Structure 1
């Protein structure tokens, strides 16, 4: 019996010694979903490449003057009518040639980045806020509240996205960046609502939510402090992937003449103008199309990387 006591005591002391950090080392921090996701993202080449591309696009949209000194709206039909690209002059107005109005294609490419980034980011923020709030209310309260919000969501979800945006934009005589943002956000919140609702229904069954209710926490505190942080992961994934879709949607509407229109500068407007000159000047259509494809691809790659990092099943 004394030998057993000595053995148990020695084992406990050894466990205590191993649990205490040696040489002043800090104890290991508790792991979390967000910490593991960030560690995974830093090792993901798709995240690194897409982040660099998006940072570069943001830099262009905020400071276009750093990349070109040419005026994207000023044309010279006498000297630059459909002038071919001079690829050796990197960064110059002649780099990508000129369009049918004598305007620099490169300058319009640079300044057109701002419209695409503003529209995509603004729409994503709006639909995330609107869809997140409605989905959280529906998922947490349930019952009649959930039924009403779900049926309204189904009604909007049944409207084709681009077709509905076209109808909304037709009601505006003057279409600006903000009107395009409104038209896309008006129909784009439904998917976020469904994702948030399902996530909240799962999270509200957790023990820490029941414990907060038992301790007398109010509804707003439970929603903001306990449910929202733990239900946001799927919403962030969907919103990030949707960014690229909104860039393409803005360009599509502008190409069809229902989004931004001249004198506004947009890749969709330039692609539309380039399609009319495709037989004699392919560069007018080529470069905005390449820039649009790279931007959409960058946001999709970022969304895929975030999804793989936040979904434990993908690891």
Structure 2
């Protein structure tokens, strides 16, 4: 028979160990959604590959001298349309300029347009979406109808109308043309960000903690910034990542049509536009800038998909 005092002592030790384990478990820090998503992203090959490609492109855009010391605008007609060689890995274009140097330097204009257009789109659409979702009523209805008008306008057609109607001469500065392209893309793209933030704001507005904050007299600005905005960060981040790649492609499309960036600006879109007349005799002039453009856009789309899956608890 077991001694009652021994059994009580053993039970006390077990209880003490249970309490100690519970205390250690309670003292551990609970991971937030961001840290949990980052832990999940680091195990995704899709995220690692796309992040590596984007990192290389960003370094190219920020420090092109690390990759080449050749002037991208220096050209010699004597080497026009010459194919790839040891002196020029990607060959020469129609004017005799080094395509490798132009591809490296062209990353800067494409990335700048994409990043600035994405930031402005998210800023405009996010602000309008939060206001529409919080206040509702006639303001929500008005913004939704205006967004529907922009949704019904094809992007390329709208860009042609906007950029072709602007008075751009040969003396227009390169940064002014870039600014016009950025504004054009943002004006035509903000409704998507607006609807995303509006939906997140409407969902968050129905939560008890938001209702309690409003009942305690919190101002609309405080409720929007402290409670609604954090709930819209995750979906907007996913949209911005994917849209960034799309806007880089949009810049190339507008430049190819002759209404976007143009020489002497060096960008992938300008290079593709310059090579369209010689693609049969010098396909390398089109192949390399198009390959870099495609890889960059695909990397941003893949990154956006990975971030979306990591931030979606239901998808795990």
The two structures have a TM-score, normalised by structure 2, of 0.90
Give 2:84's aligned residue. 85
Cα deviation code 1:150-201 (max 9, x no counterpart): 1111111111112111111112233611111011011110001011111110
Instruction: Give the aligned CA root-mean-square deviation in angstroms.
Output: 2.0
Question: What is the deviation of 1:14?
Answer: 5.7
Give 1:59's aligned residue. 59
Please state whether the residue corresponding to 1:84 is helix, strand or coil: coil
Question: Which is worse superposed, 243-252 or 215-224?
Answer: 215-224
Give 1:3's aligned residue. none
2:244 maps to 1:243: yes
Aligned counterpart for 1:19 among listed residues 19, 22, 26: 22
Question: What is the deviation of 1:211?
Answer: 2.0
Q: How does 1:23-38 map to 2 (within 5 A)?
A: 27-38=27-38
Give 1:302's aligned residue. 303
Question: What is the deviation of 1:12?
Answer: 7.1
Give 2:139's aligned residue. 145
Please state whether the residue corresponding to 1:176 is helix, strand or coil: helix
Question: What is the deviation of 1:105?
Answer: 0.6
Give 2:130's aligned residue. 136
Question: What is the deviation of 1:272?
Answer: 1.8
Q: How does 1:255-270 map to 2 (within 5 A)?
A: 255-270=256-271
Please state whether the residue corresponding to 1:251 is helix, strand or coil: helix
Cα deviation code 1:103-122 (max 9, x no counterpart): 00111101110111001100
Question: What is the deviation of 1:16?
Answer: 2.8
Aligned counterpart for 1:121 among listed residues 115, 131, 140: 115
Question: What is the deviation of 1:26?
Answer: 8.9
How far apart, CA to CA, are the structure 1 residues paired with 2:28 and 2:20? 15
Give 1:157's aligned residue. 151
How far apart, CA to CA, are the structure 2 residues paired with 1:156 and 1:212? 35
CA contact (8 A) 2:67 2:104 kept: yes
How far apart, CA to CA, are the structure 2 residues paired with 1:244 and 1:67? 23
Cα deviation code 1:1-53 (max 9, x no counterpart): xxxxx9xx9697565322222xxx99221232222211111111111111111
CA contact (8 A) 2:80 2:94 kept: yes
Question: What is the deviation of 1:301?
Answer: 0.7
CA contact (8 A) 2:200 2:228 kept: no
- Cα gap change, 1:154/1:84 in structure 2, threshold over 3 Å: closer, same or farther? same
Unaligned runs of 5+ residues in structure 1 are: 1-5
Give 1:70's aligned residue. 70
Q: How does 1:221-232 map to 2 (within 5 A)?
A: 221-232=222-233
CA contact (8 A) 2:61 2:111 kept: yes
Give 1:167's aligned residue. 161
Number of corresponding residues: 300
CA contact (8 A) 2:245 2:300 kept: yes
The two structures have a TM-score, normalised by structure 1, of 0.90
How far apart, CA to CA, are the structure 2 residues paired with 1:199 and 1:95? 49
Question: RCO greater where, 1 or 2, for CA within 8 Å and sep 6 or more?
Answer: 2
Please state whether the residue corresponding to 2:97 is helix, strand or coil: coil
Give 2:280's aligned residue. 279
How far apart, CA to CA, are the structure 2 residues paired with 1:26 and 1:106? 57
Give 1:102's aligned residue. 96
How far apart, CA to CA, are the structure 1 residues paired with 2:92 and 2:232? 50
Give 2:208's aligned residue. 207
